[in-house]
Structure 1
């Protein structure tokens, strides 16, 4: 439309993930999505995204959040040598919204288990749910995993995709 993108503070009211989506590059989100920090270049890898076709209202997830003051996350390293190194670092991090999102929509736990059964490098919930993802070292592994999840859960939305660096 030949118009500049609005600043993050103007679009945050549309949704907590809108600022990071408009940024168009990998970032670490904090707060309710308003705090974006750049991340080192990401290694080549693929992901499988899975949504069980349920809506999860972000305000409901935040209301279910038992602890709102959590310890800081581990600092970002200067880089990641491989997809496995990134997955290892991510495995030591947390999504404080995962447990409350599962309380709001228990099917999220089923999604995480379905992805984990395909042996990804890492399985996590995205944001406040309900979409979850698995990281894979290769596109072939991600495509095979997506087919497996789709076959086992034909009603779910499942896609394999490259991770943008």
Structure 2
């Protein structure tokens, strides 16, 4: 799979919001909406787990199929999150899919990287905060480019990960001055 990297819009937002500070505070996260959109689009394309599962509490009809009560049903996250009915050009990396307007116009369960319902991942909220903080620190300080010719192949166990690492060229980033208000 190709390695997709966020473009200059993320680093421009980080420079504007953080200025010379190397790391955001928790309160800064509200002022980094594009960073959040990049993270959500990354999780849409590459959810942390391969699938979720639920047991039917009562008989269920799905199209022509009849599923008895007590049946465990697996649902693959990528099949949901790459469904072209909800995601035009589903393989394309487009963080703008997560603007408030785009989210409001899409089915609520079209994005489920942490599962859904009362048994979804309890750590989803803290994980999103930690990921945004970590991404902000790393993208503020460094530029990441894929090693030329290195192919990333995903493997799925309990979680999704790269079979042979994700090899990157990492270089220090010199931030430009924050724009004047």
TM-score, normalised via structure 1 length: 0.24
Pick the structure with greater CA Rg: 2
TM-score, normalised via structure 2 length: 0.22
